[in-house]
Amino acid sequence: MLAIARQRMLVQSFKKIPPAVSVLRSYSSAAKQITVREALNSALDEEMSADPKVFLMGEEVGEYQGAYKITKGLLEKYGPERVLDTPITEAGFTGIGVGAAYYGLKPVVEFMTFNFSMQAIDHIINSAAKSNYMSAGQISVPIVFRGPNGAAAGVGAQHSQCYAAWYASCPGLKVLSPYNSEDARGLLKAAIRDPDPVVFLENELLYGESFPVSDEVLDSSFCLPIGKAKIEREGKDVTITAFSKMVGYALKAAEMLEKDGIYAEVINLRSIRPLDRSTINASVRKTNRLITVEEGFPQHGVGAEICASVVEESFSYLDAPVERIAGADVPMPYAANLERMAVPQVEDIVRAAKRACYRSVPLAAAA
């Protein structure tokens, strides 16, 4: 009886707690929440069900159901011929995957982390990315390379690097980087259906995050266009571009800026290559300011390419210097306090936006 009474009191107390307000205002009519992990899993499941040429391969994708459980239940449903556990040899199984794509199959190759894709980069760049051009269009390579990219937590420099800029610099590849569950589901489906090799950069820390999705997103026919960014939040004072985990940081920064009367427009890039330059430039021509945000190194980064595009196409619209927020130009430290200093924080975005809007002391003056 005491346990039942406690349970009733607990239920009543929860009813008094007001619901949290999501920063993703565009999802206000969404009916359901799913995690990024569930979104990726359902996309793989549906595409494998729709097309028998699609198969998965990688370390621990089968019996263990994926190092991050993205492939959970797929071995049992589709069998070992379509869900292949591989030895710990990225160079070997990536080469096999590219060969299978040459033959007309549609492999989805999982890297336990994209840091390990360095073992296979010859197959990704020289075998997959360049074959269609070098064969004058005779060879199509419909393959997806997917897995977690960028910083996680406490895993050191060899497991924390962002490879978005690396792969996005190579013609022949398409590079996608989802932020929320809608992105993950719609972009992975698009990647699997695409006739060209796609590098699909996920984020380990986002796998367990839940996001609202509409009935349209949950439909098996749902697919997002490659090369199209999404304006997550409209604004008039400053444009903030971001991808992957940094989109969430940008949205939090935008909420903080609004309290100071600065209305930021947040663009979720979604696609790194091809890059949606038209959406970015249109936004900058409206706000007259630009802040780019990424976890990767600052030199030759995604933000540098965006800044160059805006300077080339929209320079006369700028009312302030463009600013790049990026990771520190050092290998990722292992210590937690140093790791936090090495990756962008919400406060960094807020300060940069205020500088662009001339609401604070510029960096040069502060120095």
Indicate which residues carry an active-site annotation: 90, 159
Question: Which amino acid, residue 357?
Answer: C
Distances (CA, A) of 90 to 164, 238, 293: 19, 42, 30
Distances (CA, A) of 197 to 8, 97, 188, 234: 55, 11, 12, 33
Which run of H or of E encompasses 106? strand 106-110
Alpha helix ranges (H) inside the chain = 2-16, 36-50, 74-78, 90-103, 121-122, 131-134, 164-168, 181-193, 215-218, 245-258, 277-287, 302-314, 336-342, 346-356, 363-366
The residues, any chain, with a CB within 8 Å of residue 245's CB and separated by 6 or more, are 150, 179, 203, 205, 206, 295
Structure tokens at 103: 């033959």
83-85 sheet: strands from edge to edge: 83-85, 54-58, 106-110, 144-148, 198-202, 174-176, 271-273
- C-beta separation of 129 from 171 below 8 A: yes
Task: Find residue 146's DSSP bridge partners.
Answer: 110, 200
Q: Identify the CA nearest to 245 among candidates 174, 188, 305, 296.
A: 296
Rounded Cα–Cα distance for residues 284 and 287 (Å): 5
Rounded Cα–Cα distance for residues 59 and 40 (Å): 17
* Helix, strand, or coil (residue 350): helix
